[in-house]
Amino acid sequence: MAVFVLDKHSKALMPCSEKRARLLLERGRARVHRLMPFTIRLTDRCLDDSELQPLRLKLDPGSKETGVAIVRETTFGADGARGAYVLSLAEIIHRGRQISEALTARRSMRRARRGRKTRYRAARFDNRRKPKGWLAPSLLHRVVTTEAWVRRFSKVAPLQAIGVELVRFDTQAMENPEISGVEYQQGTLLGYELKEYLLAKFGRTCSYCDAADRPLETEHIVAKANGGSNRVSNLTLACRPCNEKKGKLPLEVFLRKDPARAKRILARAKAPLGDAAAVNTTRLALLDALKAFGLPVETGSGGQTKYNRRRLEIPKSHALDAACVGQVHAVLDWQRPALRIKCTGRGSYQRTRLSAHGFPRGYLMRSKRVFGFQTGDMVKAIVPTGKKAGTYVGRVAIRVTGFFNIQTAAGAVQGISHKHCKLIQRGDGYGYQLVAQTAKESENRGDASRRALSLPGLKAEVSRAN
């Protein structure tokens, strides 16, 4: 993984290799500016004394993850074919689902409180106008987070262009690949009402116990509490005892004694389209946000990305898909680890933990900092003696007692005194992890491997951070 370099005035220079960064740090010509993504700042060079090469940041937007690749562009051959040397890979893990669940919980609590504390008031949502281009908070999060990281990378790398995969999913074709013509205007319920359609589809019997000649209720195969939708493909019929017994249990758990029945029910259900809908909704908003940076923006299709990846025999992952976006004839040096950036948030205002029945079961500290540390900060702890003697680098979870937990690449270490901890990077709402891009594991799982790595040789220089 390339190391980002800044001049003595914090202007972006060309990234360098880990070996060169180590030498600069050892000779005192550079200092650690930031740990993740690893950035050094030179003490004896300015931007005017350096030569820059064309760098392009490429994006592969997704609903759950967004791939990022910073490449150095070059031309080769008599025909001037475009090649890309991969300098850095990253994958941004969004938290749109958590935001949606938090808003749902808040809405439920407010509704209950208003019902208990106030008189009846007429609904007012009909006279609320949404502005043009409005996005739900869970969708807006994907756009804003991607935009924020493009801005961060532009401050540590001299970017000259941006490439993005502008893909649009045909959700009806995903359900029925043979659809055509007027069939696009005819939905699944053509000529049916919802309940009558389900009765005809499932033979007027309970899907879980085959009970007939009794009232049947509409049942969600994947419960709405677990992210299920109201689509027809996610609905089935169940008698009241089965419906109440299943609740929000996953179908495989509820029918663990009858896996054949579970497999038969899932075969009738279709793949969820929530992720495809999220990408379709945010694609143009993300494109407008990228154009606001003032850099040339190149767009590419999903089919073009897939063609480039298969032609170049590159394994499947979001970061490597980003490297294959747009017009590119060769992708070199892609066998490097990717930085996984997980959106974790900056904590919660809630200071009370509740039991399943809504009663307080514990209280959190009123202050988010203890002895100058906050949960999410990256620290380096050097324990000189005792059972836990050693050096630990990772994210800290604070405790009011002053004995913290540190999450390292090897696992969690508990009970480290704050006296042994040194702050190396403030918590910024993200968690970081380096993972390898292994072709063999990619073929087995359909994605890049998630083996944790560490920056070789650079952790020893962390103590020189500002």
Say yes or no to pLDDT of 423 above 70: yes
Lowest mean pLDDT among 50-64, 96-110, 381-395: 96-110
The residue with greater pLDDT, 384 or 439, is 384
Mean of pLDDT values over 48-77: 91
- Taking CA 165 as the corner, what is the angle to CA 164 and CA 169, rounded to the nearest 5 degrees? 150
Given a cut of 70, is residue 101 above it in pLDDT?
A: yes
- In this prediction, residue 31 carries a pLDDT of 94
* Residue % of the chain over a pLDDT of 90: 52
Class of the CATH-defined domain 367-428 = mainly beta
| pLDDT score for 226 | 84
Mean pLDDT of the chain: 86
Structure tokens at 65: 């993850």
Q: What's the average model confidence in pLDDT over 143-148?
A: 96
* Contact predicate 3/21, CB 8 Å: yes
Binned at pLDDT 50, 70 and 90, residue 445 comes out as very low
Model confidence at 206, pLDDT cuts 50, 70, 90, reads very high
- Specify whether domain 188-268 bears CATH 2.40.50: no
The yes-or-no verdict on residue 385 having pLDDT over 50 is yes
pLDDT band of 438, cuts 50, 70, 90: low
Q: Is 429 left (phi over 0), alpha (psi -120 to 50) or beta?
A: left
Q: Residue ranges per domain, the chain?
A: 52-96+137-169+278-343, 188-268, 367-428
Mean pLDDT of 433-439: 72
Amino acid at site 307: Y
- Report the pLDDT averaged over residues 109-134: 80
pLDDT at residue 354 greater than cutoff 90: no
- Model confidence pLDDT, tens digit, residues 333-349: 999 999 999 999 887 78
Is a pLDDT exceeding 90 seen at residue 366?
no
Q: What is the mean pLDDT of residues 278-301?
A: 94
Predicted local confidence at residue 465, as pLDDT: 39
pLDDT surpassing 90 at residue 225: no
pLDDT score of 406: 94
CATH no. for 52-96+137-169+278-343? 3.30.420.10
Q: What per-residue confidence (pLDDT) applies to 359?
A: 86
**Preceding omega of 37 cis (within 30 degrees of 0):** yes
Q: What average pLDDT does this structure show over 64-77?
A: 91
Confidence band for 437, pLDDT divided at 50, 70 and 90: low
* Distance of alpha carbon 84 from alpha carbon 323, whole angstroms: 8
Residue 320 pLDDT level (bands cut at 50, 70, 90): very high
Q: What's the pLDDT at 456?
A: 37
Quick check: 59 pLDDT over 50?
Answer: yes
Judged against a pLDDT cut of 60, whether residue 113 lies above it is answered with yes
pLDDT in tens, 164-193: 999 888 888 877 777 888 878 877 777 788
Q: Is the pLDDT of residue 275 over 50?
A: yes
- Report which of residues 112 and 41 the model is more confident about: 41
Residue 466 is predicted with a pLDDT of 37
Q: Is the pLDDT of residue 41 over 70?
A: yes
With 50 as the cut, is the pLDDT of residue 453 above it?
A: no
Shared fold status for 52-96+137-169+278-343 and 188-268: no
Nearest in space to 418 (alpha carbons), one of 435, 432, 434, 400: 400
